[in-house]
Each structure stands twice: as C-alpha cells, then as structure tokens.
A and B are shown apart, each in its own frame.
Chain A
Amino acid sequence: MKNNPLPRYCWLLSVLLLVFSITVHADDNQPLVDALNQIKQGSMTDREKAINQLVALKNPRSLVVLQALLAGKLLIIKGEDKLVIAEDVNQEYEVRDAITDAKLGTKNHDAVSKINLTNKLRSDLRKIIGELELNADDPVIRLAAVNAMANEADERLLDLLKLRLNIEKNPAVKEALENILLLQQMDSADKNLRILAIESLKDHDNKDVFNKLKTIVEKDADGHYVETDSDIRNTAELALIEINNRLQLYSAIETVFFGLSLGAVLVLAAIGLAITFGVMGVINMAHGELMMIGAYTTYVMQQIMPNHLGISVLLSIPAAFIISALVGIAIERGIIRFLYGRPLETLLATFGVSLFLQQTVRSIFSPLNRSVATPEWMSGSWQINDFLSLTWNRFYILLFCLMVFFALLQILKHTRLGLEVRAVAQNRRMARAMGIPTARVDALTFGLGSGIAGVAGVALSQITNVGPNLGQSYIVDSFMVVVFGGVGNLLGTLVAGFSLGIANKFLEPFAGAVLAKILVLVFIILFIQKRPRGLFPQKGRAADG
C-alpha cells in the first residue's frame, strides 16, 4: 500500500554513478557527491538512505548539508540538476554549491525547487543533527541538541550524553544532561538509586518526569500495581501530589491569560464601536467591515514591503487607522448624517454598507482569504516550563489593546477634539449654541471610531483569517461587549471585554466552546434584564439625552 519508490532506476543510476566515479576520478568528495545525488531522487525512502549515508561519511560538509535540509534551504536548480544551499535575500536566493560551498550568485524563486521532507525524516534529522552538534562550541546549540535527544535516548545515546556530562561546563546544558540521565535512572535496578532519582526530579516541571511517575503508580487490568515495590510507589505518589498542585496553579494562570487575551480581542473589536455606538448613538452594522479594511491594509502593506515583515505590521497601524477613518468619514458624510435620530433606518443602511464593502473586497482581492504572515517576534511562545507557556502573539495583542485604550482615553480627555466630542455627546443643542461645529465633530468622531476599528483589524490579521467575512464574526461580540459594559462608557467596555473573555475561558473546559458561548449570552441577557444600562451606566442628564 505504500508509496512506491523508483527502485529500479535508482539502482541503475547508482551503479552507473559508481562506475563513473571509479573510472573518471575517485577524489575524496565522491561519497559525498553520491549521497547528495541520492537525496535528489523523488522518493522518501531514497532520501532516508542518503541521509544515513551522509551521517556515516563523517565529512564536515555533511552537517552543513543536513542542517540546510532540515531548515528547508537545500534546493535544486531547475534544469541544471544542481544541489545548492540557499539564503533568502531580498526575495531572491543567494545560492552556494552544496558540495564545494562555492558562491553561485542569485536565483529567483521560480528557478529552484526545494527538497521536500516528511515528518519522519524531519524528526530523524533533528536527532542526527543533535548528535553531531552535541559537542558544538555554542552552548545554545548544545542545549538544543541535548533537548532534541531527550525523548528517545537509547543506550548508545545515553553513553554519548554521559561522556558529554563529564566535560560539560555550561550550567544549563549540564542540568539538562543530568535530568535526562536521572530520568533514565528511574528505571535502574537499584532501588535506592530510583528513589534518589524521583526525589531529585520532583521539583522539575518536566512532562517526561510526570509521565514516568504516573506509570509507576499505575494499576494493571486486574487492579494490581504494576510496580511491586511499595517504597518506590509511595515516593512516586508523594512526588505526583506535589507536581499536581503546581499543575493546578499553572492551569489557573494559563486560563486567566487565555481569558485576558480573548478579552483583549473583544475590547479591541468593541472599543471603536464604544465611540460610534456608545458616544454617538449610531448603530453601525458596518463596524466589522471597517476592521476588515484594517486587516486588508496590513495585507497590502506586506505586499508592498515583503522583506520587512515586522516593520510592515507596525506601519500598518497608522495606515489602517487613516484608511478606515477615511472610509468611516465617507460613510458618515454620505449616509449616516441624514439618518440621525432614526436608529432603525441607520441599522438597515449600515447593514447595506457592510454588504457593499464585503462584495467590494471580494471583487478587488478575490473571495479567497489572503495570507498575512506573522513576524518572527510575534510567533512562538514564552516557554516558562513544560506545562506553562504563554504565546507571544496574544501577549502583544493584550499589550496593544491596553495601549490603544489608554491612547483613546487621553484623546477624549486631553484634546480639543475630545472635549468637543464629549460636549456634543452630552448635549448636542447646547454644544451647538456654544459654537461647536457639531456636524464636523460628528464626522470626526465617527472617523475616530472607524479608525480604531481599522487598528483592531491589524491585530486581528495576526490571529485570524483575512477574508471578506472577517468583520461578520466580530460584530455581534462587539455589540455584546459595549451593551454589557454600559453604553457610552469606555472603561465599562474594557472591564466588560476582559470579564467576558475570562468567563468564557473558565466555562470552556467543561462546557465546550459552543455551550460556553451560549452560556455567556444567556448570562448577558439576564444581566441586561436586571441592569438595562450595563455595568457602568451613565449618570446625570447625559443619560437621558
């Protein structure tokens, strides 16, 4: 049933190559050339053999080639059938000969094809490279090498690790080495050694230790303990209790973080709406589409600057603000200003606008989702230990959300526009009587709210799809947060967003994602029955306006 390799032809080819190499020139590089020729074959079985050959060669070039292979930098130049190692520079590859390391100039992306790998080959490679790199000079590389071997250390590797431990100076690498050996010691024949190993490992938050301990206290199908020695079992059980206590703490921290980051997304999506709906009283159904425009701005910025991913995302923030704000102002000037005081008509009209914007995006960018890359510093996670890690992108979005919130607060409190916005929101006629150009303020306020929606879109582009439907998925949540927090109150929006996020994440583990969402909705409905003006109702005369 397996994918059939091309055995016959390869065999023939290698025989031919062998003959060729004997007759023409048998220099030192020949085995390397042979192995590399085999790597070029399409079949994964051949590739695996070639990798093993490369390892057996003990040629210093092998490691370089294998590393390039694992990193996806080993390419074939189309037509020339030549293996090269490439570095991506300015949308082009700078290539070097895989065997001689000679510079071969630059190639564009279409002129080369990559040597593909499967998962099995990738994990094999990681182990092999780990072994080769165990004695590298850089302690960071050594540590990675040790960790790559941690899970599947067999007898031979263990001996290698022991040898390394004797000469290792770096404390971090030393500790990692000791841990692997101690873990192995838990299986030793000597009872005291085992207990010692458990005692010294129980303070480590290491999942291999945890799993090993669990197997010690396991019962078999008949209800007997697999482990016969009760002393070891008791030590293991005590250690497990300690670890479990820590695990509970970690999972609580994790859930709060998840909640806060979900909350941050909700707040970001809702905060623009808190201005347009909360302060101006406009039910803007196109709010989600303004976020979508922000997300597409990020996409366009990345297309313009494909080599500066990080900078393009940062530059997208002001760009998205400006573009969404302009679209917002156009909507306000073109449609909404004729409909003030008629919420139902506004709702329908803006819903129409949202459909219009969606279809426009479909026509310009195609109905397919667009791929927005995440910069390096935003991907991956902050690995605190084996059981607790916080993802960077969520972390930055949380930070970003707070920054946007406080910036907005400052604008409303300390700028002339903010003063005018508040004045118009409190009493439109009085404000006009005081000489405030209310029409202009309306347009600017709507622009501000829309611009912030655009900024939220930049954040969303980093965690979800950038497609025509992006806005629809957030519009309901946004209204929910604003209504729950209290219409017209920014702080309420912040608190509401975070509390809904955390509530959702605490419910999710036992209720499931679908039910958790429903429960939160039901809760909000009940809450609104009790307090129709939300968490932080506006007080005073403005509340009646």
Chain B
Amino acid sequence: MKNYLQLGKKLAVSIAVSAVLFTGAQAEDTIKVGVLHSLSGTMAISETTLKDTMLMLIDEQNKKGGLLGKKLEAVVVDPASNWPLFAEKARELLTKDKVSAIFGCWTSVSRKSVLPVIEELNGVLFYPVQYEGEESSKNVFYTGAAPNQQAIPAVDYLMNDLKVKRWVLAGTDYVYPRTTNKILEAYLISKGVSKKDIMINYTPFGHSDWQSIVADIKKFGSTGKKTAVVSTINGDANIPFYKELGNQGVSAEKIPVMAFSVGEEELSGMDTKPLVGHLAAWNYFMSVDTTKNADFIKQWKEYIKNPKRVTNDPMEAHYVGFNMWVKAVEKAGTTDPAAVQKAIIGVEAPNLTGGTSKMLANHHITKPVLIGEIQDDGQFVTVWQTNKLVDGDAWSDYLPESKPIIADWTDPIMCGNYNTKTKKCSGQKY
C-alpha cells in the first residue's frame, strides 16, 4: 500500500515536472500572435471572417517554415462585441499570453478602448478596417483606409465623372460617419458646393424604417440637378435602406448611392436586386483580376471549406498587415515590439490588387482606391481606380483644426500628433 502511494507521488511529481518542462519548451518554440475579433454579439457578423483569415495566414506562414525558425501560434480570444471587454482581452493577451502582436478590432470604439492598454504595455496592434482618421498611435498600425483613401476619392469620382451637384450625406449616428461627413462637408464646400445642396442625415444603429428618409432623398434629388447619396450607413441598416430605395423607385441611374461599409461579405447576406448599379469605394474587390488575388481566393475557399465564401477589403488589409509584420520581424531579427515598431516603417508588402503597399511613418499604408458598381451576383465591377497608390493621411487636410497636424513615428519628430505650425507634439498620445 505504502509502495503504491510512493509510486503515485513519484508519478505525480514527474508528470508535473514534465508538464512544466513541456509548456516551457513550447513557449520557447513558438511565437504567439493574438487575434482579437468578436466571435459573438452584434459584430460577429463581420469579425468572425477576420479571425478565420488570420488563422489561415498563420497556418500558411507555418507551412513556409514559420518565422525566425519558430512556429507561429495563434491565440484567439472573443471580446464578444463588448467594448470594455476588448480592453480586458487585450491586456490578457499581452500580459498572460505574452503575444508578439495583436491583429484585431473592427469598430472605432473597440479600437479606442484597446488603445490605452496597448500603449501602456507597449504592444503592437494591426487594425484592418477603414476608419475616420484623426489618430495615430505609436502602437497601432492602420492597414485599413484613412478618409483620403476612400471617402475623398469617392466624392471626386461622383463630382468629376458623374457630375453630381447635390449631395446627401447619410450615416449611422456614431463616430465614424460623423467625422467622415464632417471631412466630406468641408471638402465639398472647398470645391464650391453651396450648403443648400448638401443634406446631412443621421439615423440610429440598426434603423429599419427608411420610408420618410428615402422620400426626403427623393424630393431632394428631384430638382433636376444630378444627386448622389454618400452613405456611411453601418452594416445592418443597409438592407432596409436599399430595399426602400428600390421600392420607392429610386434607381442607381437616377440617384446613385456610394457606400463605404458595403462589401462582398455584407452583400452575400442581402437580396441584391435593389442594389444593382449602386456604388462602393474600397481598396480591394474580390473581382480584381490579378494572379495574387486568384491565389488568395483559392486558398481562402480551400481553408474555409466552402466554395461560396467571398473575400473582402478588411481581409486584404489583414493579408497586407500580416505580411508587413512578418517582414519587419525578419528585418529586426526579433519579435520585440519596440524593435518591430522601428523596423516596420518603410517595409513593403504586395497587396492583392497588383501593387506593393508600404508602411508609412504615420503608421498608415499606401493603398489603391477602387470604385465599383454592385452586380446582382454580389460582386463589384470596377468602374474607376486610382492609377497609383495613395498615401494614408492620419490627420485630414480638410478640417481646419487638424490641417497643420501630422504624424511621424521616425526621429526626430517621433509623434502621432505633431503640430507643424507650433512645432510641438501634443501631449495626447492617441
């Protein structure tokens, strides 16, 4: 009996020791990458895909032999569309799991919630979604579009190619549409559009009764001058909006709607009939005809084991961002965030539209701008694109208060909020 007990004790000790050794050994052998995307709650609709994209990219990198001779290991957490939980999960990833970089967030409010944590613990966050700008953090890399890489070119297209004279700026009532519309209004006025030719309208999240707003848009657009809607309406409210447009007989030929938040993924859940001909501005379309893109689509469909799944713009942003991070780590020879932050500036990585994107000193990247018309198969036909890549601008040049401000994370400025007039870096870090 006693022997058994001793044996048991020995066994337990040896198991415990080997377990410690094993986890220790594993921690030595892998580089951890945090994936911070909501897998439940309202934002799961968009963010789940990005989690899968990251897992696919990491998987692919491991097949190529990993990074710095080690395997990459994804640490997936679920912040459940709950903004404060984003901060908690980010802290957990950085302190408990000790990840080398985090890829995550979708809404601006989730990013703002993560910011203080990531700056305090000096981590690295890659943010893949188009956003309102007016921010540049030492620790965040913005691989989505800044307003000058999406909104401004889209308005230019409407103004120059479609000769639009009257503008409806419609958006959901939160920070991204409000800031974007502020920039757009200032831009339109600077181009000589009078205030009475601009109609601004905000609606609550998930708004579903668009009857009177669409009737207003119709009236606004019936004066004989060409009218267009620039829509920053967020995901879920879009279907009832386009349905109402279709039902009230507002076609894309009469009043085109230029959307900034409607992509292939959103379209796959919509009845596309009323949307045909409406426009969207992005930096990537699944329909772009390049070999890189064809490979990526093939890889994605195989990975997700569903031939019907689509790719979209934020996925491409993660693709570019991840490759940039890999290159920066190789360049720095370490995954230490401070070294990576320094090394990544100037790093170039191919994007899926046939060009090569570059990480700029303001932590934004260069991107092409594409404008597409929606087709009834849920894909876009590119009708216009910039002939070269556009540099992402953190601080808009069309808002008087941020015109003199630049972000530059290289010496000697080393500041995300540097006023070129007063030559001072504002104390605000983000």
Contacts and interface: CB of A to CB of B under 8 A. Distances in A.
B307 to A, nearest CB: 10
B249 interface: yes
Given A72-B376, A116-B375, A389 B268 contact: no
Interface in A178-237: 207-208, 210-211, 214-215
A3 B211 contact: no
Interface string B126-155: 000000000000000000000000000000
B202 interface: yes
Contacts of A321: none
Given A116-B381, A118-B383, A508 B247 contact: no
Interface of A: 1-3, 44, 72, 114, 116, 118-119, 122-123, 126, 207-208, 210-211, 214-215, 254-255, 258, 261-262, 265, 359, 362, 366-374, 379-381, 383, 386, 389, 391-394, 463-465, 467-469, 472-473, 504-505, 508-509, 512-514, 517
B236 A469 contact: yes
Interface stretch (B41-49, B92-100, B319-327): B41-49
B45 to A, nearest CB: 5
Given A367-B44, A379-B246, A512-B202, 8 more contacts: A1-B386, A118-B383, A126-B253, A262-B209, A369-B270, A383-B249, A473-B206, A509-B216
Contact of B212 (A119, A126, A362, A508): A508
A258 B375 CA distance: 30
Tell me the interface secondary structure of chain B in the complex. mixed
Contacts of A513: 201-204, 207, 213
A508 B202 CA distance: 11
Contacts, number: 145
A392 B203 contact: no
Nearest to A116: B381
A173 B414 CA distance: 72
Contact of A381 (B203, B249, B384, B385): B249
A179 B223 CA distance: 18
Interface stretch (B19-27, B237-245, B338-346): B237-245
B189 to A, nearest CB: 17
Contact of A119 (B249, B253, B382): B253
B382 A3 contact: yes
9 contacts: A255-B212, A258-B215, A370-B269, A392-B247, A393-B247, A465-B208, A465-B269, A508-B213, A513-B203
B216 A465 contact: no
B40 interface: yes
A359 B40 contact: yes
Please indicate which of the listed interface residues A44, A118, A362, A468 has the most CB atoms of chain B within 10 Å of its own CB: A118
Please indicate which of the listed interface residues B211, B243, B387 has the most CB atoms of chain A within 10 Å of its own CB: B211
Interface string B195-234: 0000001111011110111011000001110000000000
Given A254-B215, A464-B239, A381 B45 contact: no
A123 B252 CA distance: 10
Contact of A371 (B48, B244, B246, B271): B271
A500 B111 CA distance: 37
Nearest to B252: A119
B373 to A, nearest CB: 5
Contacts of A255: 212
B173 interface: yes
Contact of A380 (B173, B206, B249): B249
Contact of B211 (A114, A262, A366, A469): A262
Interface in B349-408: 373, 375-377, 381-387
B277 A368 contact: no
B271 A473 contact: no
A62 to B, nearest CB: 22
A370 B265 CA distance: 11
A514 B202 contact: yes
A1 B213 contact: no
A504 B383 CA distance: 40
B37 to A, nearest CB: 11
List 8 A-B pairs, minimum CB-CB distance, nearest first. Answer: A369-B269, A367-B44, A391-B247, A258-B211, A464-B208, A211-B224, A513-B203, A123-B253
A179 to B, nearest CB: 16
A467 B269 contact: yes
Contacts of A386: 222
Given A119-B252, A391-B247, A372 B268 contact: no
A254 B248 CA distance: 12
B104 interface: no
A542 B388 CA distance: 75
B182 interface: no
Contacts of A211: 222-224
B42 A469 contact: yes
Please indicate which of the listed interface residues A380, A505, A509, A514 has the most CB atoms of chain B within 10 Å of its own CB: A514
Contact of B377 (A114, A207, A467, A468): A114
Please indicate which of the listed interface residues B45, B48, B265, B376 has the most CB atoms of chain A within 10 Å of its own CB: B45
A20 B206 CA distance: 59
Nearest to B239: A465
B34 interface: no
Contacts of B375: 114, 116
B292 interface: no
A368 B204 contact: no
B381 A118 contact: yes
Nearest to B376: A72
A367 B213 contact: no
B256 interface: yes
B275 to A, nearest CB: 11
Nearest to B236: A465
A372 B271 contact: yes
B331 interface: no
A3 B385 contact: yes
B298 to A, nearest CB: 16
B273 interface: yes
A207 B247 contact: no
Interface in B1-45: 40, 42, 44-45
Contacts of A210: 222
A214 B224 CA distance: 11
B379 to A, nearest CB: 9
A381 B248 contact: yes
B48 A367 contact: yes
A48 B208 CA distance: 38
Given A1-B384, A258-B212, A381-B248, A371 B224 contact: no
B193 to A, nearest CB: 16
A206 to B, nearest CB: 11
Nearest to A505: B212
A118 B384 CA distance: 11
A368 B45 contact: yes
A472 B41 CA distance: 11
A391 B382 CA distance: 32
Given A118-B383, A391-B248, A473 B203 contact: no
A392 B249 CA distance: 11
A44 B236 contact: no
A341 B385 CA distance: 64
Please indicate which of the listed interface residues A211, A372, A464 has the most CB atoms of chain B within 10 Å of its own CB: A464
Contacts of A465: 208, 236, 239-240, 269
Contacts of B387: 1
Contacts of B244: 391
B206 A469 contact: yes
Nearest to A367: B44
B392 to A, nearest CB: 19
Given A123-B253, A373-B271, A464-B240, A509 B212 contact: yes
A374 B243 contact: yes
Contact of B269 (A119, A371, A393, A512): A371
Contacts of A3: 382-385
Given A72-B376, A211-B222, A467 B249 contact: no
B203 A373 contact: no
A412 B72 CA distance: 64
Contacts of B203: 513-514
Contacts of B270: 369, 371
